[in-house]
Each structure stands twice: as structure tokens, then as C-alpha cells.
């Protein structure tokens, strides 16, 4: 063994983590090589220095303070004496958590960890950054679901459904149905039928909210241009017209 | 005559809510846990707080401890994770707050001398000063390591955990433990070359 090989093994030699043969080879070299012996002695001194420093820092700590603070918290701690209902709730939560966020135990197993080491699960075995990331993901998912639900329940959307029902059930004139389901002349949108999203414009917003689910028409008129949008959710089709008066005028000229 | 209970007996009893059994476990491991946490945080009050939190968390989860790993490896894992969390929270604190606290911790010279006298009233003041300076140097060198490097070297040098045990505590491979240990030792030796 040469110095280069010995240096590579010196930590494992010092920590007693080498197998018998390598241990013997390293010992043979280190006892004969001043440089490697000095390196090993350095490891020993560092170990003593670290231990002495930390020991000194805790030597006058009143250790009874630990139990004094722990004991009162134990009574409040949720414990193994949970009710069956508590167990069911925990199991359901774990299952939902597993579905939404992925199974942590699996990922731990992938890294070769022993899941039994982490009976505290997420609370004790995971770092703060990991928890923040996972709960952010859960929070984001919940927020997105809330937004979608809110959009679905907006007065305009519900009105549309009601109108469609009314048209279908009252046998409204064919002209009215056709007007509602075709890209007809836009009508002003009242407050009750405001679009479920904000149109960022200062222009004149007009539109026809179809009273059926077949078609929706929206338009935005600017001083010199207009945008109209016709969509048919059932066929997942949207047509957008952008009309620029200057271009139209130039074209007609 | 009382028969000394094994660690596993204590764990089982604590798992069924026996606070006295848990107290015995706390008393067995509190000093070792405190040493590692103190090494990582360099703040006595914070270290005590994290140690207390470690045992509270352990009690909450001990009913689910399967026993196929040793209790101390498990408790170190909780402690190290809490200490790393604590350290990261400290790093994220607003600059003004941390500066204020740092200023508070930088005591004037007369306070240092008083502290040295308090620590070693019978000793030679020169020796005490040298000792205090050395500890301060060691402390600064440790503080320059990342939380992961600190944890690995403290678990090895203070607690004598094997690479396998450290890899379980740190949730990483043995190879990672070896490389972190090597890096930490090299860095500390470079910082403390006058002493090692």
C-alpha cells in the first residue's frame, strides 16, 4: 500500500470501518509512514478537541430542565390510546395524503431507508423544507379546486343553466332558441350576467350569454376595434374574431 | 431488589403510556441528544428547547416504534431533523433580527473575562483564556460546516455511531456519510491546523 491508497482509507481505518485485510494493510503502512501517521494523529486530536469543546458547553446544563419541560407536554400529547374513530380518521387521512402527495414511505424505501425508523412519519422523520414543499402542493391543489368550484357556482353560470332549463321546458319559440344558440348580435351584459372572469379592458363589453349549454358568445368593443368570442363547450370549440376598424377601412378602400 | 429493565422493555411500556418508563429513557439519552444538538446549534437555550421537543415527539410516536432499529438511532434521527429545521428557520430570520441577536451575543471583553473566571475560578487565568480561545476557534470552525456535515461529524466523533447507523439517522447512503465525514474532517483540520 502506498500513501495515496492509505490516505483514501484513513478515515475508514480511523473509524474501524475497514474489513480485516484492508485494516491490516493500512495499519502496516501507517505505522511505517510518518506522513500518514501524522494524518492519523490529526484525526485523533480533532476528535478529542470536538468532544472536549461540546462536553464543556453542556457540562453545567441542568439536565432536569429537560424532563421538567417534557412531562407536562406528554399529557397533551396524542398517544397510542386513540379511539377507534381516531385510528379510522388517521388511516383515511394517510390514504388521501398518499393519493394526493405520493407515498412517502415508498420514496424512503427507494433511497434504501428503513421506514420503521420513522414511526413518527411526516412529523419527525422529515425535514422542514420537505414538509413545506408537500403542504404547499396540497394547499395549491385545494386552492385550485376551490377556484374551479367557485367558477362553477357563479351566478352567471347558474343563470345560464336555469335559462337553458327554462327554454327547454317552456317550449320557447324556435327563434329565441336559435338566437341564443347562434353567434347572434351581441346584447349588453347586465350585472347579473357578468362574465365569470375579468376582461381587462376599458372598452365596451358586450355579449350574449347563451341560455343553453350549446354556445357562448362574448364580445369586447374598443374605440377602434372589437373582439368577439364564440365558444361551444360541448365540442370544445372556440372561435375568436378580432376586428380592427382601421384595417377594415383600409381593406374596403 | 429492582431488576434493571432493558431498553426494549422501556420502549414497550412507554408505548402503552407509562410515563415513568419514558422518563427513564429520557434520562438515559438526554445528555447524548443534548450534546449533538448543542454541537449543531451552538446555543444552549435553543439546544435545550430542541432536545425537549425531540422527546415530546418521540413520546407521541413511540407506540408505532417497531423496534427493528435501535431506539437511540431513532431518537437521534428526530433530534437531528429538528436541529436542522431549527437552523434553517434561524437562517431565514429577517436580517435585522439576527443582527440584533448577534450583537447581543457578542459580549464586551469584560464579560468574556468574567465568564472565564466563572467557568474556571481555580485555574490559571492564562490557561483559562487559552482554553476559551481554543473552544471559540473550534466552535467557529464547526459553525462553518453545513447542517448535514455538522450532524455527520458530531454523530461520529461525539457519539461514535457507525457509518451504517449514521446513514439511518441521516437518511442517506453509507457512501454519502463517508464523503461528508471526510469533507468535514478536512475542513475542520484546515481551520484548526495549529491545534491538530
Q: What is the pLDDT of residue A123?
A: 39
Residue A92: Cβ within 10 Å count = 10
Q: What is the pLDDT of residue A97?
A: 54
Q: What is the pLDDT of residue B90?
A: 78
- Below-70 pLDDT ranges, chain A: 77-134, 150-227, 229-253
Contact B64 A81 (CB under 8 A): no
CB contact, 8 Å: B87 with chain A? no
CA distance A38 to A32: 11
- CA A30 centroid distance within chain: 53
Contact B81 A53 (CB under 8 A): no
Nearest-Cα residue of chain A relative to residue B20? A71
Task: Tell me which residues of chain A, numbers 63 to 82, contact chain B at a CB-CB cutoff of 8 Å.
Answer: 63, 65-67, 69-71, 73-74, 77-81
Q: What is the pLDDT of residue A130?
A: 58
Asked whether the whole model's pTM tops 0.90, one would answer no
Nearest-Cα residue of chain A relative to residue B37? A54
Q: What is the pLDDT of residue A198?
A: 40
Helix (H, G, I), strand (E, B), or coil: what is residue A54?
Answer: helix
Pick the closest to residue A11 from B145, B166, B181 (CA basis). B181
CA distance B183 to B196: 16
With 0-12 / 13-18 / 19 or more C-beta atoms within 10 angstroms meaning exposed / middle / buried, residue B139 is middle
**C-alpha cell read off for A25:** 494493510
CA distance A181 to B58: 65
Question: From the CA of A7, how many Å to the nearest CA of chain B?
Answer: 11
- Cβ-Cβ contacts under 8 Å for B188 (sequence gap 6 or more): A46, A50, B141, B142, B145, B153, B196
Supply the DSSP symbol for B193.
T
Contact B61 A121 (CB under 8 A): yes
Nearest CB among B48, B81, B153 relative to A126 is that of: B81
Pick the closest to residue A117 from B77, B60, B82, B52 (CA basis). B77
Whether B161 and B76 have beta carbons less than 8 Å apart is answered as yes
Helix (H, G, I), strand (E, B), or coil: what is residue A231?
Answer: strand
- Below-70 pLDDT ranges, chain B: 1-3, 92-128
Q: What is the pLDDT of residue B176?
A: 96
CA distance B85 to A65: 22
Backbone angles phi, psi at A183, to 5 degrees: -75, 70
Task: Tell me which residues of chain A, numbers 4 to 23, contact chain B at a CB-CB cutoff of 8 Å.
Answer: 11-12, 15, 17
Q: What is the pLDDT of residue A220?
A: 63
Cell 354556445 sits on residue: A215
Q: What is the pLDDT of residue A239?
A: 67
Nearest CB among A43, A61, A116 relative to B48 is that of: A61
**C-alpha cell read off for B52:** 425537549
Mean pLDDT estimate for chain A: 63
Compute the 3-state secondary structure of chain A and give helix, strand, coil in percent, each to the nearest 5. Answer: 65, 10, 25
- CA B94 centroid distance within chain: 25
The H helix count followed by the E strand count for chain A is 11, 5
Q: What is the pLDDT of residue A73?
A: 87
Helix (H, G, I), strand (E, B), or coil: what is residue B90?
Answer: helix
- Cβ-Cβ contacts under 8 Å for B191 (sequence gap 6 or more): B137, B140, B141, B144
Backbone angles phi, psi at A82, to 5 degrees: -75, 155
Contact B77 A58 (CB under 8 A): no
**C-alpha cell read off for A146:** 376551490
CA distance B88 to A170: 66
**Partners of residue B58 in chain A, C-beta under 8 Å:** 120, 124
**C-alpha cell read off for A226:** 372589437
Q: What is the pLDDT of residue A245?
A: 63
Cell 471526510 sits on residue: B182
Supply the DSSP symbol for A216.
E
Whether A3 and A30 have beta carbons less than 8 Å apart is answered as no
**C-alpha cell read off for A58:** 453542556
Supply the DSSP symbol for B123.
S
Angle at B185 between CA A46 and CA A109, to 5 degrees: 125
ipTM, 2 dp = 0.80
Cell 432493558 sits on residue: B6
Compute the 3-state secondary structure of chain B and give helix, strand, coil in percent, each to the nearest 5. Answer: 80, 0, 20
**Partners of residue A116 in chain B, C-beta under 8 Å:** 65-69
Amino acid at each position: 500500500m502506498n500513501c495515496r491508497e492509505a490516505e483514501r482509507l484513513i478515515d475508514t481505518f480511523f473509524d474501524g470501518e475497514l474489513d480485516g485485510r484492508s485494516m491490516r494493510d493500512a495499519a502496516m503502512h501507517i505505522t511505517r509512514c510518518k506522513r500518514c501517521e501524522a494524518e492519523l494523529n490529526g484525526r485523533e486530536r480533532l476528535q478529542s478537541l470536538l468532544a472536549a469543546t461540546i462536553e464543556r458547553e453542556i457540562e453545567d446544563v441542568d439536565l432536569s430542565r429537560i424532563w421538567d419541560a417534557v412531562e407536562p407536554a406528554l399529557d397533551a400529547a396524542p398517544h397510542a390510546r386513540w379511539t377507534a374513530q381516531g385510528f379510522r380518521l388517521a388511516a383515511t387521512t394517510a390514504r388521501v395524503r398518499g393519493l394526493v402527495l405520493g407515498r412517502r414511505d415508498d420514496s424512503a424505501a427507494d433511497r434504501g431507508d428503513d421506514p420503521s425508523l420513522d414511526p413518527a412519519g411526516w412529523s419527525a422523520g422529515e425535514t422542514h423544507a420537505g414538509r413545506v414543499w408537500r403542504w404547499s402542493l396540497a394547499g395549491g391543489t385545494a386552492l385550485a379546486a376551490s377556484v374551479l368550484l367557485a367558477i362553477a357556482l357563479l351566478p352567471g353560470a347558474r343563470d345560464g343553466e336555469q335559462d337553458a332549463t327554462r327554454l327547454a321546458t317552456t317550449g320557447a319559440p324556435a327563434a329565441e332558441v336559435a338566437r341564443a344558440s347562434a353567434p347572434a348580435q351581441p346584447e349588453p351584459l347586465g350585472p347579473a350576467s357578468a362574465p365569470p372572469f375579468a376582461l381587462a379592458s376599458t372598452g365596451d363589453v358586450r355579449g350574449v350569454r347563451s341560455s343553453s349549454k350549446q354556445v357562448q358568445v362574448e364580445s369586447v368593443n374598443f374605440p377602434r376595434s372589437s373582439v368577439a368570442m364564440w365558444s361551444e363547450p360541448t365540442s370544445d370549440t372556440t372561435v375568436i374574431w378580432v376586428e380592427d376598424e382601421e384595417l377594415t377601412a383600409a381593406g374596403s378602400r | 431488589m429492582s431488576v434493571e429493565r432493558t431498553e426494549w422493555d422501556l420502549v414497550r411500556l412507554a408505548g402503552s403510556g407509562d410515563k415513568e418508563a419514558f422518563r427513564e429513557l429520557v434520562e438515559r439519552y438526554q445528555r447524548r441528544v443534548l450534546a449533538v444538538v448543542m454541537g449543531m446549534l451552538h446555543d444552549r437555550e435553543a439546544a435545550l428547547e430542541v432536545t425537549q421537543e425531540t422527546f415530546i415527539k418521540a413520546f407521541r410516536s413511540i407506540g408505532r416504534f417497531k423496534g427493528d432499529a435501535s431506539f437511540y438511532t431513532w431518537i437521534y434521527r428526530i433530534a437531528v431533523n429538528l436541529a436542522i429545521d431549527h437552523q434553517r428557520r434561524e437562517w431565514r430570520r429577517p436580517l435585522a433580527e439576527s443582527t440584533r441577536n448577534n450583537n447581543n451575543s457578542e459580549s464586551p471583553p469584560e464579560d468574556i473575562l468574567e465568564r472565564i473566571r466563572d467557568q474556571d475560578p481555580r485555574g490559571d487565568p492564562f490557561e483559562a483564556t487559552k482554553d476559551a480561545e481554543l473552544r471559540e476557534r473550534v466552535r467557529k470552525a464547526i459553525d462553518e460546516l453545513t447542517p448535514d456535515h455538522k450532524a455527520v461529524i458530531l454523530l461520529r466523533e461525539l457519539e461514535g455511531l457507525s457509518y451504517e447507523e449514521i446513514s439511518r439517522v441521516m437518511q442517506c447512503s453509507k457512501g454519502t456519510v463517508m464523503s461528508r465525514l471526510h469533507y468535514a474532517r478536512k475542513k475542520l483540520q484546515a481551520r484548526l491546523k495549529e491545534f491538530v
